[in-house]
Structure formats: C-alpha cells, structure tokens
Amino acid sequence: MQVLSKMTPVPVTCLEYVHPWTQSCTVATAELMIIGVQYCLRIYAAVYALSLVMRGRIPSLPELKKTLRGWLQSTAFLTTNAFSYSIMMCSLRRLLGSYNFYTASYVPAFFAALISIMVERSSRRALLALYVSNVATETMWNILQSRGLVRSIPHGEIAIFGVATSVLMYCYRKNRQKEYRDSMFDVVRFAIGDSEVMKGDAPSEGVEPPAVQNVVGRAESSQRASKSPKYPLPFIQAAVQAYLQLTGRLKAMGKHKLCCHRYGCVYDTLSSGGRMFSIGLGIQVVMKAVLQMRKFISRPALLRKTFLSKDIARLGLFLGGFTSIYKMSSCLLRHFTDSDSPMFAFPSGLLASVAFAFYSDNTIALYIMWKTLQITYNWGIEKGYLPRVPGFTVMLYAVSTALLFHAATIEPQNLRPSYWKFLHSISGGRICIMDRSGFDVYGLNTSGQIRTMMNLCKTEPILQGRLS
C-alpha cells in the first residue's frame, strides 16, 4: 500500500470520521458534553472528598464551599476538554476542507486543551501539566520505538529514577533554610528526615554531642531493660530484653561529628529503613484488602495466597531499602572524607536507586523526573538563574495533551492502556467507533490498532446499534 506524505489531505468528512453515529456536529458535541459532565462529576467528587478526609478534621463551612467550587470548576475544565475536541475537529474540517496527519487530531486537541486549561484554577494547572507530560513522555518514547528510532534500555526506568532522585536529594540538601517550598520536599523529609541536611543548618533540638549521646543511650537501654514488662512466657521476656539491649547498644554506638541524627549511624540507618519498610508493607496490605475485598469474601483461600506472596512486600522493600542505603552511604561518606557536602546526594542517591528494582515502574520514574525538573526550574527562577517563561505551564499541558489525543486517534497501541480506558469512559465509548479507516494510508495500520484496543473496553451497545 502506498504511504502518503503526512501533509497530504485525506478526503474524509467529519461525519464519516468524527461522529459516524450521528449526522449532526451539534448533536455529537452535545452528547459528549452530557456524558463528560456525568463522568467528571463522579471522578472529581471522589478526588475532592478524599482531600477533605486527608485533612483529618471536620471541615468548616468556608472549606466546604471552597471544595464545592473546586469540584464544579474541575468538572467544567475536564468536560470542556472533551467536547471542545469534537468542536475543533469539525471546525477545522470545515475551514480547511480536509484532514491530514496533523489536523486529524493533534492540532484540534492542542486548541481544545489550551481552552480547557484556562477554565481550571491556576493553582491546579501545574499538577495537571505534570501528570499529562508524564504520560506523554512514555507515549512519545513508544512512538519513536515503534518507528525503530530508539530502543529500550534494560532497567532504563531505574536509571531515570536514580538520576532524578539524586538531583532531587541535592536540591533538598541545598534547601537548608527552606527558601523554596514544595510538597515533594515534605515527602523526602518524611522518608529521610532533617538529619541529612548539613551540620549547623539542621534543627538542633534534641541533638546532643556524641559523648553525651553515648551516656544517654546506655542509660536509656538499662532503664528499659530494668523496667521492661513481665510476660507470662520466659522466651518472650528473653526476646524483649535481647531486643532492648541490642537497640541500646546500637544507639550508643558512635557517629561522625558532622552527622545530625541523634543516635549512632547504624541505628539510624536500620530504624529509618525498618520504619519505611513497615509503611510500604502496610500500604500494600491495605490496598490489597480494599481492592480485592469481594474476591476474598467469595474465595477465602485467596487470603493466604495474596498476603503470603512475595509481591506484597515489594513496596516495603523499595522504600526501606532506598532509605537505608541512602542514609548508610551518606554516613560512610562523612566518615571517609571527614566532611559534609550537598554533593554527597549524588552518589548516595544513585546507590539507593538500586532498591527501585523491587518496585520498578515507568510511571513513578517519569513522575520523579518531571517533578525534579519542575523544582529545579522554579527554584532557578526564584534564584534568578533562569528566566520565567510566561504561560509555560499552560503550553506544556496543551502540547502534552495534544500528543495523547493524537496517539489515541492515529496509533493507540502506543498509548498507556489506563489512559485509553480513561478516554473511553469520558467519551462514553465513542472514541472506539470513530471511523479512522481513511487514515490507514499513512501506513500505521490505524484500523487494526483500534480493533485491538477495543478489546480493552466494552463499547455501549446503543452506540454499536446506531453505528450499524
């Protein structure tokens, strides 16, 4: 089959391509708007309700009003993105007289995204741009790979995570006086703590000189051993005493004068890693229990198989391993060099990223990469090192969203399946029954890819009937 140039017009109408289930552009747009509103109201109701729950207190009336406004505004944003895409495709066809490879989806999707992002609150635009750029990066890589222009590197996601995390940790250590604030720094502080900032810049509360700490550690361990509760079984009592003696000795072990953690380096490394392992394990257990509750009720035997499997500990091993390796390597660097520097974050971060092999995921690696780029860019602007580009966030969202819509239309097998299902849901299945056969001339087997992707979702029977 002859492959046309990407600028060659394809003689199809919007009736044949965009909305083959109805002859009216207006009706097609109205249907997408109604379906989009219903879907978006459900999605954002869960998102904003969860944000209220996460605050851990009863919301006030002003907070409820603000949440309600945010819910409706976010619904309007996403709904606008859905139906304006259809409007743009029909309008461009009428304006230009035909479609080509770019105007078939990318150009109308770009303008639709540009319009819709202006509907959303400015405070949420960066978060949305970060998410779609994450998915768009993976999609672009898949597109280039399908054309033979790039090849996947074994464990490439670990390399991306390692480099991005090292830069992120460097920024965290450089942010000694908390000049720049970002939610990601709160996550790092929760996992690593303030002990990995440089000596003299970390909080001094509760930090004693090494000699005093050794005395305190021995005193605390002896007090715990003497005042430990009595257990009915002797081996339990012996185990508790052995644990208290071991932790007391580890706490009393020395540390470098530049280390900011309270107790010895070994204890700090093990306790921090154990805490993060417990958190990761707990998250996995809760998620499995909630998401597979119906299966457990109908098939109780799955409980043993699920909660005793190796997969249940993968997140815990990643979080615990990363924290332990990072803190251990940082302490060793201080011991060997007798100095401390934010540059230690690079070797420590690269070594700790090995733990990502337990829970390697492209989405996580790309999110950390884009989040690190956002932090360095914004911080560079605040410091005066980088120029502020007006409308950069809006343009990033529009460019990334346009790429995702284009891939979903012309070559959907390069799109992340979860995003395809999202587009299927927000369009009420209409994305599956758009007639793309006219674009097979570009040599991408678009019709065949669509048939494959349709198996991931169930298209509404009423649409299938109207199409036939």
Kindly report, residue by residue over 174-205, the tens digit of the pLDDT. 877 677 778 888 888 888 877 676 555 444 33
Strand partners, 99: 10
Residues 286, 192: one domain? yes
The total of structural domains in the chain comes to 2
Model pLDDT, residue 164: 95
- CA distances in angstroms from 418 to 48, 318, 424, listed in the order given: 21, 24, 10
3-class state of residue 99 by DSSP: strand
DSSP class of residue 54? H
Residue with tokens 């932790």: 247
User: Taking a C-beta distance cutoff of 8 angstroms, is the pair 426, 85 a contact?
Assistant: no
Residues 303, 421: one domain? no
Pick from 22-26, 31-35, 265-269, 463-467: least confident: 463-467
User: Over the chain, what is the mean pLDDT?
Assistant: 83
User: Taking a C-beta distance cutoff of 8 angstroms, is the pair 372, 164 a contact?
Assistant: yes
Domain end residue (candidates: 359, 377, 402): 359
Tell me if 190 is assigned to some domain.
Answer: yes
Residues 86, 187: one domain? no
Model pLDDT, residue 215: 40
User: Taking a C-beta distance cutoff of 8 angstroms, is the pair 344, 197 a contact?
Assistant: no
Mean pLDDT computed over 358-386 = 89
Distance (Å, whole) CA 187 – CA 203:
18
Distance (Å, whole) CA 65 – CA 75:
15
Model pLDDT, residue 298: 80
Distance (Å, whole) CA 19 – CA 35:
15
Residues 452, 312: one domain? no
Cα 223 to chain centroid distance, Å, stands at 45
Distance (Å, whole) CA 371 – CA 186:
13
Pick from 153-167, 368-382, 384-398, 454-468: least confident: 454-468
Model pLDDT, residue 214: 46
- CA distances in angstroms from 419 to 139, 179, 231, 400, listed in the order given: 10, 36, 55, 13
Residues 290, 320: one domain? yes
Residues 417, 349: one domain? no
Mean pLDDT computed over 231-252 = 67
Residues 258, 312: one domain? yes
Tell me if 203 is assigned to some domain.
Answer: no
Compute, in degrees rounded to 10, the torsion defined by CA atoms 456, 457, 458, 462: -130
Model pLDDT, residue 202: 45
The predicted-structure confidence for 243-279, as pLDDT tens digits, reads as follows 676 676 666 677 778 888 788 888 888 888 999 999 9
Model pLDDT, residue 458: 59
3-class state of residue 243 by DSSP: helix
User: Taking a C-beta distance cutoff of 8 angstroms, is the pair 198, 173 a contact?
Assistant: yes
Tell me if 242 is assigned to some domain.
Answer: no
Tell me if 130 is assigned to some domain.
Answer: yes
Strand partners, 10: 99
Domain end residue (candidates: 359, 374, 407): 359
Residue with the larger pLDDT of the pair 304 and 133: 133
Residues 133, 282: one domain? no
pLDDT higher than 90, residue 77? yes
Residues 334, 405: one domain? no
Mean pLDDT computed over 323-337 = 91
Mean pLDDT computed over 412-418 = 91
Residues 184, 315: one domain? yes
Residue with tokens 């079984």: 233
What domain range includes position 272? 162-198+251-359
Amino acid occupying residue 399: V
- CA distances in angstroms from 34 to 37, 38, 68, 149, listed in the order given: 5, 6, 20, 41
Residue with tokens 């199809």: 12
User: Taking a C-beta distance cutoff of 8 angstroms, is the pair 93, 13 a contact?
Assistant: yes
What is the share, in percent, of the chain residues with pLDDT greater than 90?
Answer: 37
Tell me if 419 is assigned to some domain.
Answer: yes
Tell me if 406 is assigned to some domain.
Answer: yes
Pick from 14-23, 113-122, 302-311: least confident: 302-311
Q: The whole model's pTM is what?
A: 0.79
Residues 140, 256: one domain? no
Distance (Å, whole) CA 64 – CA 253:
51
Distance (Å, whole) CA 375 – CA 185:
10
Domain end residue (candidates: 338, 359, 380): 359
What is the share, in percent, of the chain residues with pLDDT greater than 70?
Answer: 84
Tell me if 378 is assigned to some domain.
Answer: no
Tell me if 379 is assigned to some domain.
Answer: no
- CA distances in angstroms from 318 to 91, 125, 158, 173, 273, listed in the order given: 50, 30, 12, 22, 10
Mean pLDDT computed over 284-301 = 80
Residues 139, 255: one domain? no
pLDDT higher than 90, residue 16? no
Model pLDDT, residue 98: 86
Give the ranges where 308-361 is alpha helix by DSSP (H).
314-337, 345-352
Cα 219 to chain centroid distance, Å, stands at 45
pLDDT higher than 70, residue 397? yes
- CA distances in angstroms from 29 to 22, 109, 267, listed in the order given: 10, 14, 62
Distance (Å, whole) CA 384 – CA 382:
5
pLDDT higher than 90, residue 160? yes
Closest CA to 86 of 11, 12, 40, 30: 30
